Amino acid sequence: MPNRKSDSRRLLQNPDAPQTAGILERGFEQLRAGDVDGARQAAEKVLRSAQHHHGAFNLAGLVSLQRGDVGDAVRHFKEAIGLGPTVANYHVNLAVAHRRAHQHEEAVAACQRAIELQSDYVLAYLNLGTARFATAAYGEALTAFEQVLERTRNDEQRALLLAYCGDALRELGKLQQAIASYRQALDLSPDLAHAVGNLGLTQLGVGQAEAALELAERATQLEPHSAAVWMNLGTTLRALDRLDDAMDAYGKAYELDPESAELACQIASVWLEVGDVAQAAQWCEKALESEPDRVEAQCGLAATLLEAGDSTAAVERYRMVVDEHPENAEACLGLARALWSDGDATEAVDACRKAVELRPEHAGALAQLGTILASAGDVDAANEANRAALKVNARSVPALSNLAQSLRGRLGADEATQMANLLDAAWMRNGGRAALHFGLAHHRDGLGEFDDAAHHAAQANDFHTKHKQDRGWDYQPAEYEQYVDRLIEVFNPSYFQRAADCGSCSETPVFIVGMPRSGTTLTEQIIASHPRAFGAGERNFAARTFARLPQLVDQPGRTPVDCVADVSPKQVTALADWHLTQLAQLVEKSGERVDKVARVLDKMPENYSLLGWIATMFPSARIIHCRRDPRDVAVSCWMTQFKEIRWAFDVDHIANRIKQYQRLMDHWRSVLPLSMLEIDYEDTVADTRGQTAQLLEHVGLEWDDACLNFHQTERLIRTASVTQVRQPIYRRSLERWRRYDKPLRSLFEQIED
């Protein structure tokens, strides 16, 4: 920024060429007046006559900053410092140039040198805070801003500093303190757009969506030529599910600042939300071109991998970000989501706890921790995390929905009323309404009010469908039916005769398959309670090896099922060995000794469609097929808000999926060359000991009483039915469909037919 007039007079002293002082003084005045060319000419004129004039280099650097030539600015300021190393102002200007070049650590060092030279230099502290903020050192940034605030008496300057303090407090997760700081700033300067817009963003984080939108819109009226306020408006609109309006706001911001890496990340997030992974990745790459160390962009690329279904690659990328930026809460949350999707419940919880530790007032992080803990089996800790989220944001939809699904009929009356009231909120989006209705459906079901439960479940599925369709989700039953046709056609008896010598002879893997909500989690928990068995949870290893087939046979345009016949025995063995290595690593990571574990359980239900490929890789593997009354399966799926399953929110889709599943299982029974035990959920409830004995015999393990006490086994489980396996066998889930016979009669008729 241009120097104050009094500063420039002091800096212009040069005993070798005193006549240049007037030229440089006019140059600074021209720069302040916006005459950049005039200022440039003044600096060049002095340098032609006095090549070593540090004041002229300083002016030249400021001119370069105004013109956007940050590289030249850095060079000029360094030349000024070389000639006048004790002038604190030069170091501050160098810091500004470094910051604009996104060289934030260099900016910090320059500010620290200026403070060494002039301990009361307000601009040095201000720029130090800004540089620290850019490096995500928010605590140190806050300290620097507060030091400036102590030395500042001008109300307008204090207002801006209070807004900066609010920014740092918000990033530290101290949302209420941030709100207070913004409000103090607005008391001093009511029309300060920076404080208006960022107060709105912070209120969004505590559930005050209406106020957030009002403030974001007001900020654009106060400062319509600021890209930052339009970006804030876009972010607020995106949070309210108004994605088209959000893109319009981001578009206006882009017109004003096309080089903003932060803006590119926000635009990428919208593309990711609507399922356009390619566009999202391009905008993240654009952000990294401007700022290679931009954490949001690095996390954005990891998120695109997760959205594309490659959770393992997403985990690896998130780990790289967290290793480099361990204090970044959003990176930790992203890692938690990726780990959870990859089936690693234990590390997902750890990553989420780290995020909460970093930002204890982040309601979203607390609710996400609650979601993972509940699904992983620690229900009490999950409820505690959700209640902590509600203390920060009493209208946290995920936390309320989590509690309702966990506590069911024991949910507090006040919380149930809050959920019902939120359904009518003008700002509530489809995804939020879906979550609230799902929670209320479970609450009413727990109270025995089944008609109300059915009403909420129907509403939940409708809103969830709308929410997902807006983001590119689609499900075509005919396409899945064609896929099943192709599986049946390819994996025929002659195929298995040809593949008889393929794969690994290992008996370690045990695959537990079936429809979702059919008892796969319960079955895994029973066997995993055995001291020589390890429950790996839902793992996508089989699907990943199957997906690699087109590349292995050098036919990337074909589908995996079309490439099965072209894979060599050697390639199949290599894929099986890779799969076994992944299982061994999971066992080692858990602290168990690999040589003590005889069976590793994979309970990915959807693997029922891959049994032909699994039999190819592991002809000695054991298969356990979990069955349950398909009407009970249908009801349970209909009342569950799955994150990834696309067919469970429409009764016709559910019926068709069950039909195709049954058709495919009939085929496997007739052609599979390996042992498959079929076990009914109803039989497990009626005769737990007898079914447990049958399970252990099938997988080749001796009897152990611990398997009857499966609900006492301490292990984290990635599932939607975890609360059921944390207690002894109960009967209330049997023939649950009868409670919903009237509202779901058309679905049951399709299944019964």
For residue 211, the number of C-alpha atoms closer than 13 Å in the C-beta half-sphere is 13
According to the model, what pLDDT value does residue 41 have? Answer: 83
Nearest to 104 by CA among 155, 80, 140: 140
According to the model, what pLDDT value does residue 6 have? Answer: 41
98-103 long-range contacts, CB within 8 A, separation 24+: 98/74, 98/131, 99/127, 99/130, 99/131, 99/134, 100/65, 100/70, 100/73, 101/70, 101/71, 101/74, 102/134, 102/261, 102/290, 102/291, 102/292, 102/293, 103/74
Residue 93 pLDDT exceeds 60: yes
pLDDT band at residue 20 using 50, 70 and 90 as cut-offs: low
Q: In what order do the strands lie in the sheet with 509-514?
A: 533-535, 599-602, 509-514, 622-627, 676-680
Instruction: Tell me if 559 sits within 8 A of 728, measured CB to CB.
Output: no
Residue 51 pLDDT exceeds 70: no
Instruction: Tell me if 520 sits within 8 A of 626, measured CB to CB.
Output: yes
Q: What average pLDDT does the segment 315-334 reach?
A: 94
Q: What average pLDDT does the segment 60-72 reach?
A: 87
For residue 348, the number of C-alpha atoms closer than 13 Å in the C-beta half-sphere is 27
- Hey, is 621 helix, strand or coil? coil
The runs of H, that is alpha helices, within 240-358 are 243-256, 261-273, 277-290, 295-307, 311-324, 329-341, 345-358
Q: What average pLDDT does the segment 269-275 reach?
A: 89
Residue 101 pLDDT exceeds 90: no
pLDDT in tens, 293-319: 899 999 999 999 998 888 889 999 999
Q: Based on the number of CB atoms within 10 Å of its own CB, is 552 exposed (0-12), middle (13-18) or buried (19 or more)?
A: middle
Residue 669 pLDDT exceeds 50: yes
According to the model, what pLDDT value does residue 97 have? Answer: 92
Rounded-to-integer distance, Cα 540 and Cα 572, Å: 17
Q: What average pLDDT does the segment 62-78 reach?
A: 88
* H or E stretch at 414: helix 413-422
Model pTM score = 0.75
Q: Which domains does the chain have, with CATH numbers?
A: 5-204 (1.25.40.10), 394-474 (no CATH), 479-752 (3.40.50.300)
Unique residue bearing structure tokens 């079929």? 678
According to the model, what pLDDT value does residue 392 have? Answer: 87
pLDDT in tens, 147-196: 989 888 889 989 999 999 999 999 888 889 999 999 999 999 999 999 99
Instruction: Tell me if 23 sits within 8 A of 38, measured CB to CB.
Output: no
According to the model, what pLDDT value does residue 19 have? Answer: 62
For the chain, the average pLDDT equals: 89
Instruction: Tell me if 679 sits within 8 A of 691, measured CB to CB.
Output: yes
Query: What is the separation, in whole angstroms, between the first and last Cα of the chain?
Result: 77
According to the model, what pLDDT value does residue 719 have? Answer: 52
Going by the DSSP 8-state scheme, the letter that residue 719 receives in this structure is S
Residue 232 pLDDT exceeds 60: yes
What is the torsional sign of CA 331, 332, 333, 336? positive
Rounded-to-integer distance, Cα 535 and Cα 557, Å: 36
According to the model, what pLDDT value does residue 712 have? Answer: 62
Rounded-to-integer distance, Cα 635 and Cα 643, Å: 17
In sequence order, what are the residues at sequence separation of 6 or more whose Cβ sits closer than 8 angstroms to the Cβ of residue 571?
552
247-251, 326-330, 473-477, 590-594 — most confident range = 247-251
* Percent of the chain whose pLDDT exceeds 90: 65
* Percent of the chain whose pLDDT exceeds 70: 94
Instruction: Tell me if 400 sits within 8 A of 394, measured CB to CB.
Output: no
Going by the DSSP 8-state scheme, the letter that residue 492 receives in this structure is -
According to the model, what pLDDT value does residue 333 have? Answer: 96
Instruction: Tell me if 341 sits within 8 A of 302, measured CB to CB.
Output: no
User: What number of residues does the chain have?
Assistant: 753
pLDDT in tens, 350-406: 999 999 999 888 888 999 999 888 877 788 999 999 999 999 888 899 999 999 999
In sequence order, what are the residues at sequence separation of 6 or more whose Cβ sits closer than 8 angstroms to the Cβ of residue 382?
369, 370, 371, 372, 373, 374, 402, 406
Q: How many CB atoms lie within 10 A of CB 385?
A: 26
Q: What average pLDDT does the segment 545-569 reach?
A: 94
According to the model, what pLDDT value does residue 291 have? Answer: 87
Residue 732 pLDDT exceeds 80: no
Residue 235 pLDDT exceeds 80: yes
Rounded-to-integer distance, Cα 673 and Cα 685, Å: 30
Q: What average pLDDT does the segment 336-342 reach?
A: 90
Rounded-to-integer distance, Cα 352 and Cα 330, Å: 10
Going by the DSSP 8-state scheme, the letter that residue 2 receives in this structure is P
Instruction: Tell me if 230 sits within 8 A of 256, measured CB to CB.
Output: yes
β-bridge partners, 599:
533
pLDDT in tens, 565-600: 999 999 999 999 999 999 999 898 888 888 899 999
